[in-house]
Amino acid sequence: MTALLLILSIAAFSSYFYIIWFWYLWLIPVLLFLIFFIYNVNWISFKHKTNSLLQNYALFFVWIVIQFWLFFLFKFFDISSIWSICTIMSINVLFWFLSYIVKYEDWKKIAQFAYYIFIIVLLLLSLWNYGVETSLNVFFYMWILTFAIVGFIVFVFSIKYKIEDYLNYQFLILALGSFWILLFKQIDNIYIFLITSVLALGAIYVLIFRILSNKPPTESEIKEISVRRILAWERVLKEVNKNREFSKKLYSFVFGFPNFVKYWFEFANSLVILILIYLYFQNALHLAWNMEQIFYRLVTVGFIINVYLLKRINYTSIVQRLLTFLVINFAIYISLFSAFWWNIWSVVFLAIIRNIISTMMVFHVHKTKIGTYLRKIDYLFWIFTTMLALVVNIVLLFHSNLAWWLLFPIILLYVGIQWISLYYSIKYINKIKEVPKEDEKELESL
C-alpha cells in the first residue's frame, strides 16, 4: 500500500511540474522514490527472492523510472525524442558492457531489459509520428544494431569474461533474422521473397531434424565397439574421427535450444503465411489464374510441409496447430473462388460437400499414417475449423440469391447433416488414446 501511495504521489508531482513547464523538478520525487527502495527493498541482488513481485523486480522498475526521467529532461532542453531515446539506449549498452568488466551480474539483466524497453518505445514513437513503413525500417535497423551488440559480446567479451548461454542462442536468432531482413531488402518481388523464406526455413528445420536424429555415441558406447572389434580379430587401430568433438558440441547446442528459440522458429513459419494472407486480401479482386495464384499455392504448400517438419522436431505449439487448419481451409476457399470466378452458388455447393466429407474423414484419418502425426488437440482444431466453415457456408448461402422457400430447407438440411457428423466425430475423438510417437520418444530420451 505504501508503494502504491508513493507511485501515485510521483504521478501527481510529475503532472504538476508538466503543467508549470519545469520538467527537471521531477528529480525530487524520483530521489524520494530511490530512497524508499534503498531502505525498504532487497534490490542489491536478485538472489534474495521474496513473495512480493514488486520487491523482486524493484531495481528494474527504479532504473526504468530514472531513464524516463532522463527522457523528459532531454525534452525540457529541446532535444528531439528520437535523439533522447538513442542516447538512453547508448547508456544502457554502455552499462551492459561495463557489467561484464566489473562482474555485476544484476546489471547485465537490467541494462539489457531497459535497452529492449526503449527499442519498443522508439518503434511506437516512429509508428505514431511517421507511419508503418518508417517504423518497419526502424525495426530492421534496431534488429541489426542488436545483432552487432550481441555479436560483440559473444565473440569479443567471451574471450576474457564468462557470458550467459542464452546469448549464444539470442545471437543465432538475431543472425537468422538479419539474413531474413537482407533477403527482404534485396528481393523486390514479395512473392519470390516469401517462397525463398519458406524454402530457407524448411532447410533449417531439416538440418535441425538431422542433427537431433544423429546423436553422437557416448564414451561407453565407443569402448563397447572397440572391445567387439578386438574379439572379432578386427584391426585395433582405427581412424580418429576429427569431427567427433564438433558433432558433440553441435548436438548439445541444438538439443539445448531454449523455448524462445523454438517459438521463434515456429513464429517465422507462421509470419510467412500471415503475410501471404494479408497480400491476398489486398488483391482479393484479382483472382484470375496468373502467376500470383501459383505463388499463393506454392507458399501455402511450403507452409504445410514446414508444419510437418516442425512436428517431427517437436517445435509445434497450440497456435501453430490452429493456424494450420485455418490455412488449409483458407486455401480451399481461395481455390474455389478462383476456379469459379465468384460464382457463389457453385462455390457454396462444393464447399458444403467438402465440409461434410472433411468431418467424416476424422473417423478414418486416425487409422492411417497421417493420423500418427496428429494429436487429440489437432482433431479438436479440425472440428473447430469445420464449424467455422459451416458458418461461412451459411453466410454464403444467404448471398446466393436463392428463393427463401428453397434457401431455408437447404440450410436446415445442411446444418442437420453437419451437426450429426460433428457430434459423432467429437465422441470418436474422445475415445482416441494418445500414444507418444516414436520420434518424440527418441527426442525425449536423448
CB 55 within 8 A of CB 42: yes
Residue 442 has what pLDDT? 42
Query: What are the cell numbers at 51?
Result: 513473495
CB 320 within 8 A of CB 269: yes
- Identity of residue 37: F
Residue 239 has what pLDDT? 45
CA nearest to 33, candidates 4, 73, 70, 71: 4
Residue 119 has what pLDDT? 92
CA distance 385 to 372: 20
Residue 18 has what pLDDT? 59
CA distance 357 to 386: 10
- Residue whose cell numbers read 566489473: 102
- Identity of residue 91: I
Query: What are the cell numbers at 285?
Result: 479482386
- Cβ partners under 8 Å of residue 421, min gap 6: 356, 359, 360
CB 352 within 8 A of CB 396: no
Query: What are the cell numbers at 289?
Result: 489464374
CA distance 221 to 174: 37
Going from the C-alpha of 351 to that of each of 311, 376, 380, 421, the distances in angstroms are: 28, 25, 20, 16
CA distance 93 to 171: 16
Residue 435 has what pLDDT? 53
**Could you read off the pLDDT of 70-95 as tens digits, one per residue?**
787 777 777 788 888 888 899 999 98
CB 109 within 8 A of CB 46: yes
User: Which SS3 state, helix, strand or coil, does residue 292 take?
Assistant: helix
Residue 145 has what pLDDT? 93
Q: Quote the pTM value.
A: 0.74
Is residue 272 within a helix (H) or strand (E), and if so which, with residue range? helix 259-282
* pLDDT tens for each residue of the chain, 446 residues long: 455 555 666 666 666 565 555 555 556 666 666 655 555 544 444 444 444 444 556 667 777 777 877 787 777 777 788 888 888 899 999 989 988 888 877 778 888 888 999 999 999 988 888 888 888 899 999 999 999 999 999 998 888 888 888 899 999 999 999 999 988 888 888 888 999 999 999 999 999 999 888 877 666 655 555 555 555 555 544 444 556 777 788 888 888 888 889 999 999 999 999 988 888 777 754 545 566 777 888 888 999 999 888 888 888 888 888 888 888 888 888 778 777 766 777 888 888 888 888 888 887 777 777 767 777 888 888 888 888 888 888 888 887 777 777 888 888 888 888 888 888 888 888 877 665 544 444 444 43
CA nearest to 90, candidates 143, 149, 135: 149
**Could you read off the pLDDT of 306-352 as tens digits, one per residue?**
988 888 888 888 888 888 888 888 888 877 877 776 677 788 888 88
What share of residues in the chain are helix, strand, coil (percent, to 5)?
80, 0, 20
- H runs (alpha helix) in 20-104: 27-40, 53-56, 58-76, 81-101
- Cβ partners under 8 Å of residue 363, min gap 6: 424, 425, 428
- Residue whose cell numbers read 466429407: 357
Query: What are the cell numbers at 61?
Result: 522498475
* Length of the chain counted residue by residue: 446
Residue 177 has what pLDDT? 92
CB 23 within 8 A of CB 13: no
CA distance 159 to 236: 39
CA distance 435 to 374: 11
CB 392 within 8 A of CB 336: no
Where are the chain's structural domains? Answer: 190-333, 343-446
CA distance 275 to 285: 17
CA distance 92 to 262: 28
| DSSP structural state of residue 265 | H
